[in-house]
Amino acid sequence: MIMLGRRLVLLGPPGSGKGTQGDLLSQRYGIPKISTGDMLRRMRDDPALGPSIRGYQDSGGLVVDEILFPVVENRLRNPDCAGGYIFDGFPRTLEQAKWLGERVDTVVSLGVPDSVLVERVRYRFTCEDCGAIYNTKLSKPKVEGKCGKEECCGELFQRPDDKPETVAERLKKYREKTEPLIDYYRKRGILKELKFGEEDVAVDVVFGRVVAAIES
């Protein structure tokens, strides 16, 4: 398997499957997934930056670049990024894409209709210990409310920003700020655009299409 040129960006609205697909790609290629949402969530208790981060996240707004860029820059300096990485949730604006510059080889856009997104986010639960993501409608965990991954069994919780009002705001932000990146990366010739219909598609089917797009 060719490992060069594996600096990937997953582009898509909330609930489009960036996190899940990012985890699978990370396993397949042995490169880290970089979720800016997760990194910022871990900073919510930071005495200096936490209050500001919580304010943006809880209202469905975007965290400002002055906070985000140093976090991403530091993460990219980590030696585990030397063989490539998968961005999940970054870049989200044209400014961020310009800042990232040439440090991306392929962008996969996951196009999913709003009706599917809203439904998925409603049933999305995360394990507080290992971060595994569940759709409790499609794949019920073995023990209700608990993670089913081997040696984990952490509590499952719903992200506060997955409540319907906040999801609506996040979708609006996506349309306004992030969707223009599809065109931006298309013009740069590095976009692989996937479109899915109203029928919810199984994770492994989506993964097959994502891998085929990346390796084509």
Maximum alpha-carbon separation in the chain: 47
Determine, following the binding rule CB under 6 A, whether residue 171 of this chain makes contact with ligand AMP.
no
Determine, following the binding rule CB under 6 A, whether residue 68 of this chain makes contact with ligand AMP.
yes
Q: Which residue is nearest to ligand AMP (CB)?
A: 37
Determine, following the binding rule CB under 6 A, whether residue 89 of this chain makes contact with ligand AMP.
yes
Q: How many CA atoms lie within 13 A of 103 on its CB side?
A: 20
Q: Which among 35-43, 104-112, 132-140, 199-207 is the span making contact with ligand AMP, rule CB under 6 A?
A: 35-43
Determine, following the binding rule CB under 6 A, whether residue 40 of this chain makes contact with ligand AMP.
yes
Respond yes or no: is residue 103 known to be catalytic: no
* Residues 67 and 53 sit within 8 Å (Cβ to Cβ): yes
Number of H helices, E strands in the chain: 9, 8
What type of residue is 129? D
Q: Please say which residue, 61 or 141, places its beta carbon nearer to ligand AMP.
A: 61
In the complex, least distance from residue 65 CB atom to ligand AMP, rounded to whole angstroms:
7
Strands of 85-88's sheet, edge to edge?
33-35, 85-88, 7-11, 106-111, 191-195
Residues that bind ligand AMP (CB under 6 A): 14, 36-37, 40, 56-57, 60-63, 68, 89-92, 96, 161, 170
